[in-house]
Amino acid sequence: MPSIYIETYGCQMNVSDSELMYGKLQAEGYVATDTPVGADVVLINTCAIRENAEQRVIGRLGELRRDLKPGAVLGVTGCMAQRLGPRLLETDTRVQLVVGPDSYRMLPSLIDGARNGERFSATDFDLEEHYEDFSARRFEGVKAWIPVQRGCDYRCTYCIVPTTRGPERSRKLAEVVRETHEVVAQGITEVVLLGQTVNSYNDGTHDFADLLRAVGAVDGIRRVRYTSPHPNDFSDRVIAAMAETPTVCEHVHLPMQSGSTSMLKRMLRRYSREEDLECVARLRAAMPGLGLTTDIIVGFPGETDEEFEDTLSLCREVRFDDAFTFKFSAREGTPATRMPPEWTIPEAVVDARYDALVATVRGISREKNMARLGERMEVLVEKEARKGELFQARSRDFKTVLVPGTPESIGTYMTVELTGTTGATFTGTPVQERAPLPMAG
């Protein structure tokens, strides 16, 4: 049987797509391998979000040229494939297949053609495509990624995703619930619902609030998460569904990008600093103790010192548990590239702002984490930690806690006391949950 190896870059959506591609190709008679060396088919599932994401893939394709066995099929899938299409076939003569995110259904036949020496690019969008008949081959045994929406209808001026993923469309609620039952049957108790603006989910009949309640009620599910919501799509219905569904975890990853209203306007984020803060206030009022993380971009065209200061002050005001910070990267064809060239921020300024932002974010994170030592919480053991004999576990509010355990602990829940922190992650000691004492007399 021919073997298939898929290497994945980028976000969870790509991880989930790779699971679908593996599932489809296995059903067609391929066996999955965990190395490109000796594989009959090698697919690189790529990301295009920032220049360096694409550079990594180009570097990797160069390495693979040397590792591939003669006659092996090399294909590029995902967002970079969609963005560059046939251009990739021209620039890298070893690449035989370029397949965008809505064309994975064609993979078996495209691979057959490639094995006969042909070269193809398939990058049409398909607004009906959700790969409902594919059954994902999941790599994580503890939590399941479940795509609920593909594409994006926002047009943030820095972002390539609308180009690479096409228009927004939602899966039917019943299909998402069906898949949730399937993962429970596989022994998985946590699901992560995926979409670019996942809380704008709407299948024509149901909104995201309905979806949270339906998935959260599936027997055997203990934790429901989702990523990434857009601040504009947090209706009161969604917040209430979150707060009232016990399985939905007390964590929101809320990408804010900037704390400056004028900057948010240039980014076309469609909310102001005040609306953002109001959204946080509504979330926290409904769920005290909510874990809150975000994404922030520095060095967007025209960013003034004042605007950057507003981002720092937003971080101090909200006090995020953590933030993913990015230096602006100009993406071909996005509206940001058409802004006046004099708006480009010099690299040294971007670097200095980036360092200041990271220091601010880390400082707040450390303070918040130190204050939590001694707290008791339930964690789900996910995997072996990178070093030592500890295992990596996660709290409902998305804290990483290193705990003692055995390989059998993976996938189990335990109650721990937080005994130490690096500032970013915790160590925890299992505690026996004491049964209430019988009443005397």
What are the residues binding ligand SF4 (CB under 6 A)?
A: 152, 154-156, 159, 161-162, 196-197, 230
- Contacting ligand F3S (CB under 6 A), which of 4, 10, 190, 307? 10
CA distance 232 to 221: 28
- Interacting stretch for ligand F3S, rule CB under 6 A, among 21-29, 46-54, 178-186, 302-310? 46-54
Cα separation, 28 vs 276, in Å, equals: 47
Sheet holding 97-99, edge to edge: 31-32, 3-8, 41-46, 73-78, 97-99, 120-122
User: Among ligand F3S, ligand SAH, ligand SF4, none, what binds residue 271 when CB lies within 5 to 8 Å by partner kind?
Assistant: none
Q: At what angle do helices 12-27 and 107-115 cross, to 10 degrees?
A: 70
Kindly identify the residues of this chain, within the stretch 142-171, that bind ligand SAH according to CB under 6 A: 158-159, 161
Q: Which are the contacts of 37, defined by CB distance < 8 A and separation ≥ 6?
A: 67, 69
Which structure tokens are listed for 59? 């570097």
Query: Under rule CB under 6 A, how many of the chain's residues touch ligand F3S?
Result: 13
Which of ligand F3S, ligand SF4, ligand SAH, none interacts with 47 (beta carbon under 5 to 8 A by kind)?
ligand F3S
The answer to whether 14 contacts ligand F3S (rule: CB under 6 A) is yes
Minimal distance, residue 219 CB to ligand SF4, in Å: 33
Kindly tell me which of 77 and 427 has the beta carbon lying closer to ligand F3S: 77
Q: Which of 4, 61, 64, 79 binds ligand F3S (CB under 6 A)?
A: 79
Asked if 47 interacts with ligand F3S (CB under 6 A), we say yes
- Choice from 21, 41, 44, 49 touching ligand F3S (CB under 6 A): 49
DSSP string for residues in 168-191: -EE--HHHHHHHHHHHHHTT--EE
Contact window for ligand SAH (CB under 6 A) among 323-331, 351-359, 367-375, 384-392: 323-331
Helices (H) then strands (E): counts for the chain:
13, 19
Stretch that binds ligand F3S, among 5-13, 92-100, 348-356, 397-405 (CB under 6 A): 5-13
Q: Nearest to residue 187, comparing CAs of 20, 428, 380, 416?
A: 380
Q: Tell the smallest beta-carbon distance from residue 307 to ligand SAH (Å).
A: 16
Half-sphere exposure of 199 (CA within 13 A, CB side): 23
Asked whether 32 and 5 are in contact (CB, 8 A), the reply is yes
Q: Looking at 97-105, 180-188, 328-336, 345-353, which segment touches ligand SAH (CB under 6 A)?
A: 328-336
Return the structure tokens found at 261.
């209203």
Out of 24, 165, 269, 394, name the contact with ligand F3S by CB under 6 A: 165
Of 54 and 92, nearer to ligand SF4 (C-beta) is 54
Is residue 156 close enough to count as binding ligand F3S by CB under 6 A? Answer: no
Burial of 108 (0-12, 13-18, 19+ CB in 10 A): middle
Between CA 50 and CA 58 the distance in angstroms is 13
Question: Order of strands, edge to edge, in the sheet holding 322-327?
Answer: 251-253, 291-298, 322-327
69 binds, among ligand SF4, ligand SAH, ligand F3S, none (CB under 5 to 8 A by kind): none
Which residues of this chain interact with ligand SAH, rule CB under 6 A? 49-50, 158-159, 161, 196-197, 228, 230, 255, 257, 295, 297, 326, 328-329, 331
